[in-house]
Amino acid sequence: MTDVAISRESLAADLRRLGVSEGDTLYIHSSLKRVGWLPDGPATLIEALLDVLGPEGTFAVPTHTLSFPGRGAAPYRPDETPSVLGTFPEAVRRWPGACRSGHASHSSAAVGAKAAWLTENHDSTHALGENSPLARLCRIGGRILLLGVDNRVNTAIHLAESLAGMPYVRLPYDASWGPDTAAELPDGSTVRFRQREFPGCSERFELLEPDFEAAGIVRKGVVGNAPSRLIEAGEMLQIAVARLRAEPGLLLCGEADCPCCPARRALLAAR
């Protein structure tokens, strides 16, 4: 990161040049360090997004908390539990008027016209099911914005694994975590939710990028200092689902010490 400050106005211009338009619905994954020095920190980026998207636009971010009691995590409290995914998602969930979904490990937060609709009734037992913010965003022509990061953090590709019917999504990311998340209710009691599917390892997700580019659904540019991509979410999902149906092991990594992929590979091999 250089010390040259990046203004709200220049960020807005970069976002427009990348193809972000008024009224868009975005799902954003980011590295703030890559974007560069922002005078007001993440607020500068939030304000630039609001400028570009206008009153009809919306942006959402992952605010995952991994609230699995099996890994020693406290029960999820939507208003309190910090996200484990960096500075920008934290700033978004705390932004005035932001909404945050109720899933105890894989919540999303959103700001803007469709924020409430995107985040309401997030299925507590299925992080990336039909009733998840990301699935809704894909259905309405939303777009994935990768700011200084690549498809290895593109959570919607986990949604493709689910929609493609990959049997391995029923195995926890790490068996030692167990299958339950936990959330704290407003009365202080705790409720556990048995998860039906689990987002897993994403180390190989970048393998899909050539397919996305060949389909003409990726726009590339720079936002601040960050190499960035804007991807059409619905089309991306269809492409990823088709690839996975043809090659179910495609996205499982080959690392022996991955907490997730060896068991998933064994499950596919046993079928």
Which stretches of the chain bind ligand COA, using CB under 6 A?
Answer: 1, 29-35, 37-38, 41, 62, 85-88, 149, 153, 155, 202
Are the CB atoms for 132 and 103 separated by under 8 Å? yes
Picking from 160, 170, 168, the residue whose alpha carbon sits closest to that of residue 244 is: 160
In the list Zn ion, ligand COA, none, the entry touching 261 (Cβ below 5 to 8 angstroms by class) is Zn ion
CB 188 to ligand COA: min, Å:
30
Q: Find the part of the chain contacting Zn ion (CB under 5 A) among 19-27, 176-184, 198-206, 216-224.
A: 198-206
Nearer to Zn ion, 13 or 253 (CB): 253
CB 133 to ligand COA: min, Å:
13
Give bridge partners of residue 218 from the DSSP assignment: 231
Element (H, E) at 77: none
CB 45 to ligand COA: min, Å:
8
Torsion, Cα of 213, 215, 221, 225 (10° steps): -50
Are the CB atoms for 39 and 3 separated by under 8 Å? no
Q: Find the part of the chain contacting Zn ion (CB under 5 A) among 51-59, 63-71, 196-204, 215-223.
A: 196-204
Question: From the list 11, 48, 183, 258, which residue makes contact with Zn ion (rule: CB under 5 A)?
Answer: 258
Are the CB atoms for 89 and 45 separated by under 8 Å? no
